[in-house]
Structure 1
Amino acid sequence: MSDQFDINSAPEHTINASEQPTTVRPVMQPDNPYASTRGSITSKQLPAFDQDIINKYNRSGPRYTSYPTALEFLPMPEGLETKILRERESHAPLSLYFHIPFCRHLCYYCACNKIITKKNSDAGDYLAYLIAEIKHKCSLLTPPENGKKPLVKQLHLGGGTPTFLQDNELIELWEFLQTQFEFLPEDQGDYSIEIDPRELSGETLKVLRHLGFNRISLGVQDLDETVQVAVNRVHSAKLIENVLLEARALGFHSINVDLIYGLPHQMPETLDKTVRRIIEMSPDRLSVFNYAHLPERFKSQRQIKEADLPTPAAKLTMLGNTINTLTEAGYQYIGIDHFAKPDDELAVAQREGKLHRNFQGYTIMGDCDLLGFGVSSISQIANANSSYILQNHTDLQVYKDNIDAARYNATIMPAVNVIKTSIKDRLREYVIMNLLCHDYMDFRDINQKFGIDAITYFINEIQQLGQMQEDRLIDMDAAGIRVLPRGRLLGRNVAMVFDEYLDKKHKDRFSKVI
């Protein structure tokens, strides 16, 4: 790509930014334009850590698990969710998400809506409500033309702590799902669960693997005892190692470990010890999240003393050290806090230009509709020329009341919020997600998919990116926009330029990018 993009060289076109794009597809689809933009793990696309550049561009912004983001939800009209499910394209495969809101421990850094309880019995009949919701939604889905049940390619249990459910409850849920859906074999599908390593019975991993789960994610956060005590999440490195060893022996395909930087009493040298110890355990993926201290919004964080938090400079040092240590150990930087071994499915999909992003984060199953079940869960469903994002109520009792009411009135559904995306939204979503997944925006590809001239349509955004090009975060020419190694950690900043909603409202609702 050239060093400088000349706006005056942009070709004239009859379509401008005020006109609607279309979804008319060309007769011939080009080869995937995103597969060749990234080399192997040893290529120049490794992220470059530049503290001055990060300080310059470090502003608040969304994580783009959807576009528009969840802050654009509107109240759900009665009957709309029923209509959306009935009109869903029956040939589209499904990704299922189940939200289990219960935890036995309050982690002080938590920014989630969780229910803290010590006994499994305190979860009451939540599983029965999940099953009732599944049965109701499935009754509305149009069966595929082959007469089989709807095909599921991906499943994820999140929370909360999904393993708060007892082993027999996990079995009950899984066996019921087999009556409602057709699942890909476990060597082809992606079936995952989040795990608190402190809350596993002696048989839980064996049960999960026997059922068909093939990926697990462990919340570790930090191995330093002082930090663990400060955030009320204490466990030993040996416990984590034993869980990883057992999971690997049982044949789980992929194991993820979550870490957080910026926690109280954390220091660059202590976090570096944690990262190196985790590397010795050799997880397939790592998520390294930035702790955002927002006690005015999240009650649990009020237990953390602001004076105990590391300085912004120390946080940047931790981030830089972590990135360098992980990439030197051979992990591929995926984007937005995520790393994976080069042979992990996420890393392979990224190199092949097939990576996607949704409410479950980075995913290889971008062709799926997402169906969410449980309190606060989110669904993403495409119907012909329409696309919808739906959210169940975030209050457990209201969620249950809606499920109960549906027994007598089938038009009452658990979703209470909705976003209906326009064609213009889907165009911008496509641009944003490709920048975040593949560090690239291919003008020709966009022209063919949406019937526009991308340079003309996005001329204002291209002008706004001029400073980033001067700072060598990106490179632009007539072919497209590429995020350079120096800009990979700030990919969200590039994507934010294409977000029409960002500067209109909600600017105070996001944490900083770094």
Structure 2
Amino acid sequence: MPTTIHDAVTDSASNAAAWGDALLQRYATSGPRYTSYPTALSFNEAFTADDVTDALARSNDAQRALSLYVHIPFCRKICFYCACNKIATKNTDLAEPYLARLDREMALTAQHIDTRRPVKQLHWGGGTPTFLTLDQMSGLIDRLDARFGLSSDPERDYAIEIDPREADVLTLRHLQSLGFNRLSLGVQDLDPRVQRAINRSQPKVLTETLMDEAQRLGFRSLNLDLIYGLPQQTADSFAQTLHQVIELNPARLSVFNYAHLPERFPPQRRIRQEELPDADEKLTMLRVTIDMLTAAGYVHIGMDHFARPDDSLALAQQNGTLQRNFQGYSSHAQCDLIGLGVSAISRLEDSYAQNASVLADYETALDQGRLATRRGVRLSRDDRIRRDAIERLMCDMRLDLAALGERWQIDPQEYFKAALVALDQAQQDGLATLRHQVITVTPVGRLLVRHLAMAFDAHLPAQGNRRYSKII
């Protein structure tokens, strides 16, 4: 690693030719993140709760393990960059009716689930799950266990998103007693100027104290979330944050590109456009991030995820068992995902289903004794084939067309003829290679793997890509 932060930024700038600024900027268009295929823009309201129960029955026939996602929408304070479904309040009593509705949703869902299927993965997201009191957390775990039967398998992956500003040592000990073994801490940036600009004051000591205690307690994996492209950030300032984060030595890092979409997310209107870094500065931040993290021994999983070589995420990529889902990359590929709570999305065998995103609509449905499904889609055979191709490309950074053809009994060269033509320019530009029916993503191509995946997307031409975030 360069000896100083300035060296790191200077070295990245001097490597501009290797990165090909003009090339990256040419490919820096908008496109899906492919946490699902088809993407949520293909979900439709003709898909109802009855379709969900049918999908759950087919899911039982497949007997895959279960993954549960629980959405907790509450936050005590709104961060200006946030694009999540959330409710700002400091009153934890307001969570009680929501938790009661969650239990109704669990009961309705569990009626259609073979609960002998193990729950290998659990994720609480938000919002801020640690908004809940310790007693409320215990009650929610008890309800999940009663409805679905939680696991004590040491290989389970039970994670929760934590806001370091409202969690302490007692919180971590309690979470461990509830069965959580992985934590994700929101950091975003350690520079006080940036924190003020995004309304998120979070001294480094808060994060450091929690990480020390998590490691002492033996949590299996710890993830930190960072964001580049925020107001007041520069390549130098973000390198300072990365340097401090590397010293904290988390097992995983998610380094997201901030998407400024104030027309869609009202809190972002509080961010001053003139304080945002320009495209060249953001590209330098991305270079610095990859240079510093790889020099520190992290594996670039792809897109915005990094992991220690011995972390389960890196091992899953090596084993070809990595999966994309609505939380990003997941090490548990062979699971059906059940989403619980407002706006939550389920992935069940051959279907996606999303709950109502408006809390009142979610509550009304459950009060009427029905699932809160608002929209979804059942995949065609073509959708499933293309999902397989896109997922393997984005997870493995390679796609074995011959193996894919054998799995689906198709001629991949003919089936994906248009996609391979679309990828020809990317091959010429050094983003990928195609040899012996294997597409391999190059190191630079990892930054643009969303663009490579778009070649296989049959829905995208009808949607356009204007409603998606920038690729880099």
Q: TM range, normalised to the smaller chain?
A: over 0.9
Contact preservation (8 Å) 2:144, 2:150: no
* Equivalent position amino acid for 1:71 in 2: L
The aligned residue for residue 395 of structure 1 is 358
Look up the SS of the partner of 2:294 in the other structure: helix
- For residues 331 and 74 of structure 1, what CA distance do their matches in structure 2 show? 40
| Residue 245 (str. 1) matches residue 212 (str. 2) | yes
Look up the SS of the partner of 1:371 in the other structure: strand
Gaps of 5+ in 2: 1-17
| Residue 291 (str. 1) matches residue 258 (str. 2) | yes
* Equivalent position amino acid for 2:312 in 1: E
- For residues 507 and 477 of structure 1, what CA distance do their matches in structure 2 show? 29
- For residues 205 and 484 of structure 1, what CA distance do their matches in structure 2 show? 40
| Residue 58 (str. 1) matches residue 16 (str. 2) | no
Structure 1 341/201 Cα, relative in aligned 2: closer, same or farther at 3 Å?
A: closer
Structure 1 122/89 Cα, relative in aligned 2: closer, same or farther at 3 Å?
A: closer
Q: What is the CA RMSD across the aligned residues, in angstroms?
A: 1.3
- For residues 246 and 132 of structure 2, what CA distance do their matches in structure 1 show? 30
- For residues 78 and 493 of structure 1, what CA distance do their matches in structure 2 show? 34
Question: Structure 1 residue aligned with 2:56, among 71, 80, 85?
Answer: 85
Q: How does 1:252-401 map onto structure 2 within 5 Å?
A: 252-382=219-349, 387-401=350-364
- For residues 182 and 78 of structure 1, what CA distance do their matches in structure 2 show? 23
* Equivalent position amino acid for 1:103 in 2: C
Contact preservation (8 Å) 1:183, 1:189: no
The aligned residue for residue 43 of structure 1 is none
Look up the SS of the partner of 1:503 in the other structure: helix
| TM-aligned CA deviation for residue 84 of structure 1 | 2.4
The aligned residue for residue 475 of structure 1 is 433
Contact preservation (8 Å) 2:48, 2:373: no
| TM-aligned CA deviation for residue 358 of structure 1 | 1.3
Question: Structure 1 residue aligned with 2:71, among 90, 99, 106?
Answer: 99
| TM-aligned CA deviation for residue 133 of structure 1 | 0.9
Q: How does 1:98-247 map onto structure 2 within 5 Å?
A: 98-143=70-115, 149-247=116-214
| TM-aligned CA deviation for residue 178 of structure 1 | 2.0
- For residues 89 and 48 of structure 2, what CA distance do their matches in structure 1 show? 34
Look up the SS of the partner of 1:369 in the other structure: strand
Q: How does 1:26-65 map onto structure 2 within 5 Å?
A: 49-65=19-35
Look up the SS of the partner of 2:291 in the other structure: helix
Identity of matched residues, %: 46
- For residues 318 and 182 of structure 2, what CA distance do their matches in structure 1 show? 21
| TM-aligned CA deviation for residue 281 of structure 1 | 0.4
- For residues 78 and 253 of structure 1, what CA distance do their matches in structure 2 show? 37
- For residues 358 and 95 of structure 1, what CA distance do their matches in structure 2 show? 11
TM-score, normalised relative to structure 1:
0.86
Count residues in correspondence. Answer: 453
The aligned residue for residue 22 of structure 1 is none
- For residues 78 and 162 of structure 1, what CA distance do their matches in structure 2 show? 26
| TM-aligned CA deviation for residue 503 of structure 1 | 2.0
- Larger-Rg structure: 1
Contact preservation (8 Å) 2:38, 2:383: yes
The one of the two structures with greater contact order (alpha-carbon pairs below 8 A, sep at least 6) is: 1
Look up the SS of the partner of 1:94 in the other structure: strand
- For residues 212 and 49 of structure 2, what CA distance do their matches in structure 1 show? 49
| TM-aligned CA deviation for residue 470 of structure 1 | 1.2
Contact preservation (8 Å) 2:419, 2:455: yes
Contact preservation (8 Å) 2:343, 2:356: yes
* Equivalent position amino acid for 1:157 in 2: W
1:397-455 Cα offsets, whole Å, 9 max, x none, are 1101111101xxxxx32111011101100111111111111111112111111111101
1:447-487 Cα offsets, whole Å, 9 max, x none, are 11111110111112111211111111111133221111231
The aligned residue for residue 40 of structure 1 is none
- For residues 468 and 308 of structure 2, what CA distance do their matches in structure 1 show? 30
Question: Structure 2 residue aligned with 1:497, among 448, 451, 455?
Answer: 455
- For residues 268 and 48 of structure 2, what CA distance do their matches in structure 1 show? 35
Look up the SS of the partner of 1:208 in the other structure: helix
- For residues 84 and 232 of structure 1, what CA distance do their matches in structure 2 show? 42
TM-score, normalised relative to structure 2:
0.94
Look up the SS of the partner of 2:463 in the other structure: coil
1:120-158 Cα offsets, whole Å, 9 max, x none, are 123341111111111111012245xxxxx3310000000
Look up the SS of the partner of 1:203 in the other structure: helix
| TM-aligned CA deviation for residue 300 of structure 1 | 0.3
